[in-house]
Homo-oligomer: A and B are copies of this chain.
Amino acid sequence: MGTMITSFDDLLRGAASLKPKRILVANPANAETFQAIADAQVKLPTHFLLVGNRATIEGGLADAGGDPRKAEVVAAATVQEALEKAIGLARQEKADVLMKGSVDTSTMMRAVLQDSSGLKTGRLLSDIFILEFPERKDNKLIMITDGGMSLSLELKNKVDLIKNAVFVAHALGNPDPKVAVLSATEFVLPNLQSTLDAAALSKMNERGQIKGCVVDGPLALDNAISPEAAEEKGIRSKVAGRADILLAANIESANSLAKSTTYFAGLRLAHVIVGSRIPILIPSRADKSDAKLLSIATGMLMSEQPWKEE
């Protein structure tokens, strides 16, 4: 990687400088997906494999201003067949990144999580949100995890979530990301499990059980991202006020937090699933226009990063 990626502009530049990546799309069939593919054809070194109805794909991509001749179409008659063929192609290592088109996210992830998919690695799969916070000086990219893969978060899962997010941070050239374990307070409260988990995760990091990052928590969101709020509270920490990765206390909290940055703050958001053999993108139709392109760029960068258990 070399230099650290600290903004979405950097991210797009980084992806643009890569060797061409093969992006496999399961059932592209709506205008938003075709627009993302058309954009990526122009702006990023990509080769698309599009699995679905040939006429829909060729017409849709042309309508979006893309070039069907530069994409490889694999015909499939139904959504289910498109999904199965896409996963088969991924299993045969025909792709660097897998992206969903018009497929229900839960259907897609159930298929990925089957043993027969060949896409599992034994690691936990998790979804990493990456948002750009323009007000921040040094590293504008803040990650939030988990994006929605893990319904219930036990301590063991949180360890894996941190490792996956750190894996993404390393791929973005950040060798030692600061991980804030979020709760509602910076104090350890015996009857609030997320604060106990946070203390345990911090200590595991100190003892070398979680490597390649600095972990601190519990922290409330303001203590994690605002140096002023952290100072006001007198929190002494390498992470407080400067977190690169926010580990949410639970799935509801991660979801609300990520959506709040989009809907209340109007920030841009990319997201990528890691832990599978290749990065998986599950863009939402409601994503802002450039979110899909940013997610594709993130997936491309991730596809270059070898996983190593630290």
**Roughly how many angstroms separate A151 CA and B265 CA in the complex, as a whole number?**
27
Identify which of A252, A259, A286 gathers the most chain B CB atoms within 10 Å of its CB.
A252
**Roughly how many angstroms separate A253 CA and B192 CA in the complex, as a whole number?**
13
Known: A133-B264, A152-B191, A184-B252. 20 other contacts (CB 8 A): A151-B189, A151-B191, A184-B254, A221-B259, A221-B263, A222-B259, A222-B262, A222-B286, A225-B264, A233-B286, A248-B256, A249-B256, A250-B252, A256-B256, A256-B257, A260-B264, A260-B265, A261-B264, A261-B265, A265-B265
Partner of A220, one of B182, B255, B285: B255
Q: Are A264 and B267 in contact (CB under 8 A)?
A: yes
In the complex, whether A194 has a CB less than 8 A from a CB of chain B is yes
Residues of chain A from 137 to 154 with CB closer than 8 A to chain B in the complex: 148, 151-152
Q: Which residues of B contact A232 (CB under 8 A)?
A: 285-286
Name the residue on B nearest A226 (C-beta): B263
Mark A225-252 against chain B: 1 for CB-CB distance below 8 A, else 0: 1101100110000000000000011111
8 contacts between A and B (CB under 8 A): A133-B264, A184-B252, A225-B264, A250-B250, A257-B257, A260-B264, A260-B265, A261-B264
Q: Are B249 and A253 in contact (CB under 8 A)?
A: yes
In the complex, whether A266 has a CB less than 8 A from a CB of chain B is yes
Q: What is the interface of chain A, defined by CB distance below 8 A to chain B? A: 133, 148, 151-152, 182-185, 189, 191-192, 194, 220-222, 225-226, 228-229, 232-233, 248-257, 259-267, 285-286
Q: Are A256 and B259 in contact (CB under 8 A)?
A: no
Partner of A182, one of B133, B225, B248, B252: B252
**Roughly how many angstroms separate A255 CA and B191 CA in the complex, as a whole number?**
17
Q: Which residues of B contact A254 (CB under 8 A)?
A: 184
Copies in the complex: 2
Q: Which residues of B contact A252 (CB under 8 A)?
A: 182-184, 194, 248-250, 253
Q: Which residues of B contact A261 (CB under 8 A)?
A: 260, 264-265
Q: Which residues of B contact A253 (CB under 8 A)?
A: 249-250, 252-253, 256-257
Q: Which residues of B contact A183 (CB under 8 A)?
A: 252, 255
Q: Which residues of B contact A229 (CB under 8 A)?
A: 263, 286
**Roughly how many angstroms separate A163 CA and B221 CA in the complex, as a whole number?**
27
Partner of A263, one of B182, B191, B225, B286: B225
Q: Are B251 and A250 in contact (CB under 8 A)?
A: no
Q: Which residues of B contact A152 (CB under 8 A)?
A: 191-192
A99 vs chain B, min Cβ distance (A)? 19
